Chain A
Amino acid sequence: DVKVTQSSRYLVKRTGEKVFLECVQDMDHENMFWYRQDPGLGLRLIYFSYDVKMKEKGDIPEGYSVSREKKERFSLILESASTNQTSMYLCASSSRGFATNEKLFFGSGTQLSVL
């Protein structure tokens, strides 16, 4: 069974902390994505990566960075967490060009609370 696994389901951090959200996929996908999901705003793309060590900004990259050192792992980093980063974070992956089956595979999400 194909999987996108996010390391934590719930996370509570304090303002100013450096936060790492980890995502691993086992489908050998080239593309990986980080979205945040907020009520009334839907899913907004933070960063995505087309390949190892490659990254591109999405629609709301401010306050975030990412790392993709290995093909299967894509990390989202909050350099100095703030309360407005309290959200549900969703990781997703897909094959390049959606060549095989034209869809994103999502993890179950990490609910981050910044106090």
Chain B
Amino acid sequence: GNSVTQMEGPVTLSEEAFLTINCTYTATGYPSLFWYVQYPGEGLQLLLKATKADDKGSNKGFEATYRKETTSFHLEKGSVQVSDSAVYFCALRAYNTDKLIFGTGTRLQVFP
């Protein structure tokens, strides 16, 4: 079946450090891939997405590249800020369905 696996947290970084949160997926066909972010006390909101292989999604300094050969969609940011502290969810939408399947979430804590 379709599934998403992401690294466990928490990830703890100092401000301006480089961030990588790993995400791999299992899916039939060609899924669309997403990163959602949940700030404290809020619902999830879309951070970035990629709909086909080799696409790069980017937003707010975050990037992720759809790698079909490694079935991965790792989230990266070159220099994190305290305001990036949140829970990050990797998700996929399998071909021909409107359902999203989410990973377990990775909490990021950034300290000054």
Structural contact, A96 and B98, CB atoms closer than 8 A: yes
Structural contact, B45 and A43, CB atoms closer than 8 A: no
Query: Chain A's nearest CB lies how many Å from the CB of B84?
Result: 19
B69 beta carbon closer than 8 Å to chain A: no
Query: Chain B's nearest CB lies how many Å from the CB of A53?
Result: 17
Number of interface residues of A (CB under 8 A): 26
Q: How far is the CA of A109 from the CA of B38 in the complex (A)?
A: 11
B77 beta carbon closer than 8 Å to chain A: no
Which single member of A40, A48, A96, A103 contacts B99 (CB below 8 Å)? A48
Contacts of B42 in A (CB 8 A): 108-109
From known contacts A103-B49, A104-B44, infer whether A43 and B102 are also in contact, taking CB-CB under 8 Å.
yes
Contacts of A50 in B (CB 8 A): 98
Structural contact, A42 and B41, CB atoms closer than 8 A: no
Which single member of A41, A97, A108, A109 contacts B98 (CB below 8 Å)? A97
Q: Which residue of A lies closest to B51 (CB)?
A: A102
Structural contact, B98 and A4, CB atoms closer than 8 A: no
Which single member of B34, B89, B102 contacts A103 (CB below 8 Å)? B34
A61 beta carbon closer than 8 Å to chain B: no
B20 beta carbon closer than 8 Å to chain A: no
- Interface set of B (CB-CB < 8 Å, partner A): 32, 34, 36, 41-46, 49, 51, 89, 93, 98-105
Between A and B, 10 residue pairs with Cβ closer than 8 Å are A33-B100, A42-B103, A43-B89, A45-B99, A45-B100, A48-B99, A50-B98, A103-B34, A103-B46, A108-B43
